Amino acid sequence: RRRPGVSNLLLVVAAASSGGLVAYADSGSDAAAVEKPQLPLRKKVVVLGTGWGGTTFLRNLDSKLYDVQVISPRNYFAFTPLLPSVTSGTVEPRSIVEPIRRILEKKGGEIKFWEAECFKIDPKNKKIHCRSNIGTNLDGNGEFLVDYDYLVVAVGARTNTFNTPGVVENCHFLKEVEDAQKIRRSVMDCFERASLPFLDEEERKKNLHFVVVGGGPTGVEFAASLHDFVTEDLSKLYPSIQHLVKISLIEAADHILTMFDKRITNFAEDKFGRDGIDVKTGFKVVKVAKDAITMQNPATGDISVPYGMAVWSTGIGTRPFIVEFMKQIGQANRRVLATDEWLRVRECDGVYAIGDCATINQRKVMEDISEIFRVADKDKSGTLTVKEIQDVLDDIYVRYPQVQLYLKSKQMNGIADLVRSAKGDAEKESVELNIEEFKKALSLVDSQVKFLPATAQVASQQGQYLARCFNKMKDAEENPEGPIRIRGEGRHRFRPFRYRHLGQFAPLGGEQTAAQLPGDWISIGHSTQWLWYSVYATKQISWRTRMLVVSDWTRRFIFGRDSSCI
Ligand code: FAD
């Protein structure tokens, strides 16, 4: 039987003093337990993840009220919206990260942080199983158990490859800071390889073919920033091969940026066309080999194209340990953890989930939408006129702004077209929408897609909301009936979470950005780029990162981007 190593014991002692760590597990079931000496006075809150959701929660939490522990495999917060800028060297990686310990220090040093990943949640015993990801220096396998009274799951998501063969082996992802750094090095490697003296023209072309799979905001922004890097900086440094560079953007749907307004989609497609970015819509990538990407289109069949570097950005999937957790709690048929409107994981006492790993259960939303339809369908014919459709939609949008986003997303294309044609045909008063079909499509959305967009905006609003609830929890416990009667079926201590959509940006390169702001206000062009600069400078998590990011932008304006392969 092995004994826990010194470093692990130190970890145990340190953690036990926080009141959260209850046992050391040396090697799986062969665990030697170290009992926690006394019960803590404050309730234990364990936060998984230091991304947008977790960090915003921690920054807003009154940490004196709880015994808080944070567990994450990375010891920093990363400002993900600027990751595409890191791939081209417009912004340096360290400018967009803030050490989590610095953030926690500002909370008075009350919060403990463990650099580790959770690999199992045990909701029955209210424990989580963790593994240190710096385990190489540790004896044993670096595993430990942490118990909780409240668990906040904010572990984000992983990139979804849809099990496409060869993607993991041959494509880059753009999810983490390390991914962006690897992409930057890989772009430079492609240029250096293509410059070697013994290569023929075809080989050079292959090396300089950059493929982006996925026409969502991340893929589009990356393609745009790569195009800027090539035209503004690399073309001067590699004049003999710059004409061989090709950027392809492959999207399975009929358009790119389908979650944006049609005007933005059209502008982006036209701009990319003018810039020489080859936008291939309606193509589904089915295989990625070392040298070639194979894509499918009903009209052309399979096409294989050679490439130098590929970036895969087709959406997000659930982390494996969350999938296991969902199986345990009877949510195996869902794609992301379902919570109620108070962000509590359903049927799971004391567990909350926020950000990309969670979605609000839509049963109530669907009931409300059905009710709106029922009221609108005065003559009980099962159909609505244009005017009625408009009223219904306005009512839905006011209550659930996120529905509007999904009406524009590709999953809802059929419905969106129906609504658009109905709305556009103003004089044809009798255009009718089949209510049952509309409701069916909406409930399909409920079961298949994440209802709230997977954005930093949602994750941080949820983190902020949840922290406020936690700050008031004690008062609420002393006064269990609660001051606000929200629903007919019972009293709730807090208002339900409501997402406030503040708009979204799509940087398109060449100092032009498109923005879709609340109220369907669209702005595109150079002035919007300045709006983008100011919003992202303002949103930085600290003055240090704000200064670094602004100075990176200034450096880029004056000296251009750095092209070294480091
Ligand atoms: P994350 O921010 O991903 O954080 C997850 C955290 O969990 C991380 O700290 C991770 O280390 C940790 N973790 C992972 N596994 C474990 C584990 N097993 N145990 C413990 N901790 C774990 N959104 C916008 O609103 N605007 C944008 O412009 C925008 N641009 C983007 C650009 C890119 C390139 C990308 C990738 C995303 C962008 N997003 C944008 C989306 C946004 O980044 C995400 O929606 C947001 O990060 C979700 O926050 P989160 O807290 O759920 O997850």
Read off the pLDDT of residues 467-524 as tens digits, 9 standing for 90 and up: 999 998 877 777 666 555 444 444 556 777 878 878 899 999 999 999 988 767 899 9
Residue ID of nearest Cα to ligand 1 atom 30 = 81
Minimum CA distance residue for ligand 1 atom 6: 49
> Nearest C-alpha to atom 28 of ligand 1 is from which residue?
81
Residue 346 is given by DSSP the state T
Write down the architecture of domain 167-316+502-559 according to CATH.
3-Layer(bba) Sandwich (3.50)
Backbone phi, psi, residue 16, to 5°: -65, -30
359 pLDDT above the threshold of 90 = no
Å from CA of 184 to ligand 1 middle: 20
Cα–ligand 1 centroid distance for 79 (angstroms):
9
**Which residues form ligand 1's pocket by a CB distance below 6 Å?**
48-54, 71-74, 80-81, 83-84, 117-118, 154-156, 174-175, 218, 319, 321, 355-357, 454-457, 459
Residue with tokens 């992802």: 173
Task: Tell the residue nearest (CA) to atom 15 of ligand 1.
Answer: 155
483: which residues sit within 8 A by CB, 6+ positions away? none
Give me the pLDDT at residue 173, please: 97
**Residue 407 and residue 422 in contact, taking contact as beta carbons nearer than 8 Å:** no
Higher-confidence residue of 175 and 23: namely 175
Distance 116 CA to ligand 1 centre (A): 17
Structure tokens at 58: 């921690």
CA–centroid distance, 50 to ligand 1, in Å, is 9
Residues of each domain in the chain carrying CATH 1.10.238: 363-448
Q: How confident is the model at residue 91 (pLDDT cuts 50, 70, 90)?
A: very high
Q: List, for residues 299-331, the tens digit of each pLDDT value.
A: 888 999 999 999 999 988 889 999 999 999 988
Tell me which of 72, 314, 324, 540 to substitute to probe ligand 1's pocket, judged by most ligand atoms within 8 Å of the beta carbon: 72
Top-ranked range on mean pLDDT: pick from 104-113, 312-321, 442-451? 312-321
Distance CA 322, CA 334 (A): 11
For helices 413-424 and 435-448, the axis angle rounded to 10 degrees is 140
Dist. CA 303 → ligand 1 center (Å): 34
Say how many Å lie between the CA of residue 462 and the centre of ligand 1: 13
Other beta carbons within 10 angstroms of residue 264's beta carbon come to 23
Closest among 476, 376, 366, 358 to 433, alpha carbons compared: 376
Q: How many CB atoms lie within 10 A of CB 101?
A: 15
Instruction: Report which of 281, 209, 284 is spatially closest to residue 241, judged by C-alpha positions.
Output: 209
Q: In the chain, which segments carry CATH 3.50.50.100? A: 18-157+318-358, 167-316+502-559
Topology of 363-448 in CATH? Answer: Recoverin; domain 1 (1.10.238)
By the 8 A CB rule, do 115 and 133 touch? Answer: yes
Helix, strand, coil percent content, the chain, rounded in steps of 5: 45, 20, 35
Label residue 283 by pLDDT band (50, 70, 90).
very high
- The rounded Å distance from CA 51 to ligand 1 centre is 5
Res 358: pLDDT? 87
How far is residue 269's CA from residue 524's CA, in Å, rounded to a whole number? 13
- The number of C-alpha atoms within 13 Å of 231 and in the hemisphere containing its C-beta is 14
Tell me the CA–centroid distance for residue 461 and ligand 1, in Å: 13
Instruction: Work out which ligand 1 atom sits closest to the CA atom of 358.
Output: 52
Q: Mean pLDDT throughout 85-111?
A: 92
Residue 218: what are its φ and ψ, rounded to 5°? -70, -45
Instruction: With a cut of 80, say whether residue 402 has pLDDT above it.
Output: no
Q: What is the mean pLDDT of residues 525-529?
A: 95
Hey, what CATH topology would domain 18-157+318-358 get?
Answer: FAD/NAD(P)-binding domain (3.50.50)
